[in-house]
Amino acid sequence: MAVRSALLDVPGVTRAQVSLETGEAVVTYDPRTTTVESLLAVVNKTEAPVAGVTYNATVKVAPRAASTP
C-alpha cells in the first residue's frame, strides 16, 4: 500500500495503519522527530494507484487513553 509505505519511511513513524475503504490512517510517531504537517505532506504527495485520483490528508485527533497513576 503506497500511503502506508510512504508514512513508514518518515523518520519517527513507528506504526501506520491505512484503510482505503474508510479513507483513514492511524499513525504512531515521535513528535520530537517529525510533525503532523510533514505527515500530511507525505500523504498528499503519494501517488495514488489509480490515474486521476489524488489524496487530500486532514487531521482527526484521537482521544488519548487515560493514564493510571
Under-50 pLDDT residues of the chain: none
Write down the pLDDT at residue 57: 76
Q: pTM of the full predicted structure?
A: 0.75
Taking the C-alpha atoms of residue 9 and residue 60, their distance in angstroms, rounded to an integer, is 21
CATH architecture of the domain with range 2-45: 2-Layer Sandwich (3.30)
The SS3 assignment for 61 reads coil
Write down the pLDDT at residue 15: 92
How many H helices and E strands in the chain?
Answer: 2, 2
- Greatest alpha-carbon pair distance for the chain in Å reads 51
Write down the pLDDT at residue 33: 95
Write down the pLDDT at residue 11: 96
